[in-house]
Structure 1
């Protein structure tokens, strides 16, 4: 059974474009500011040491929602697909807020592994970071095309968004487990 939705209001397109454009620009900018000027946002005594584990859980849940969303759309269960992808977006948004809070309060942890594991860690971390930056825009454009019912464009970009977003979610968890022994 397929679900049909009323046509999107053309005036909504401009509103969606504006909101998603602001988010696409603001998210990487905020993360960059926190990376280069973290001391400006530190709150003495903030208790955030539990957030990396929370972030790993959020990344895991995002990956699960993405896989379920993929399953549902392959089986033409549009309403369930929308629910899973909306949930993945919400969880990823919570992850981003948690990530920004944590990194605004705690200095970066140095990876202590040596040899091959060090190389593997940094390759995963670098690919994770670079693709996470790309993912923000991909997800927002994919969401925009879905919200404005431009489904052909949505499908075309989703073919790229899904594997990149899934990779970022899964490698986020792997990177967490690799660096967790070095948290102080």
Structure 2
């Protein structure tokens, strides 16, 4: 059986996708535990990276509207922008946690359980979405449109959930920042 060029193009990216899907969460977990001594805490970052999550959510929605209108160029630009925003978020998030102590959620009762549910699903899905985003992106740039559409239907809601819950988590914990 002869493979089509789309399958070959997809496969040449597979090792990179697997490596990044493992490397990113591992590096973040390691850096999360590193504290840089004698550095001013970057306490101004949480509202910025929460806003980046909000903008990411809007960009993802706009990208879907653009592709539904048939505007592939705008869709592609918006998706690249969403990836850049996600990387910026991650860099700021890690920088904040390397210079500042984690903030404890101070509320009690049912809201505490709601917060931790949202936080836990946000964290888990932010790890799970990495290979989905990368595979979806590769299928788009290699012009493997049918496979791109198929996985994008899974990637979009996962990524949107991560972006939106990032804002929700910030709003819920922001009263407890020192």
Q: TM-score, normalised by structure 2?
A: 0.89
Number of positions where the alignment pairs a residue of Structure 1 with one of Structure 2: 173
User: Is the contact made by 1:111 and 1:179 (CA closer than 8 Å) also made in structure 2?
Assistant: yes
How many angstroms apart in 2 are the aligned matches of 1:174 and 1:147? Answer: 32
Of 133, 143, 146, the residue aligned with 2:137 is 143
How many angstroms apart in 1 are the aligned matches of 2:109 and 2:10? Answer: 53
Stretches of structure 2 lacking an aligned partner (at least 5 in a row): none
Stretches of structure 1 lacking an aligned partner (at least 5 in a row): 1-6
User: Is the contact made by 1:63 and 1:169 (CA closer than 8 Å) also made in structure 2?
Assistant: yes
Of 102, 119, 126, the residue aligned with 1:108 is 102
Of 18, 22, 27, the residue aligned with 1:25 is 22
TM-align CA RMSD: 1.8
How many angstroms apart in 2 are the aligned matches of 1:43 and 1:78? Answer: 47
Q: TM-score, normalised by structure 1?
A: 0.87
Of 31, 38, 50, the residue aligned with 2:34 is 38
User: Is the contact made by 1:13 and 1:148 (CA closer than 8 Å) also made in structure 2?
Assistant: no
1:1-184 alignment, distance < 5 Å: 14=12, 16-35=13-32, 37-39=33-35, 42-184=36-178
Q: Report what 1:4 is aligned to.
A: none
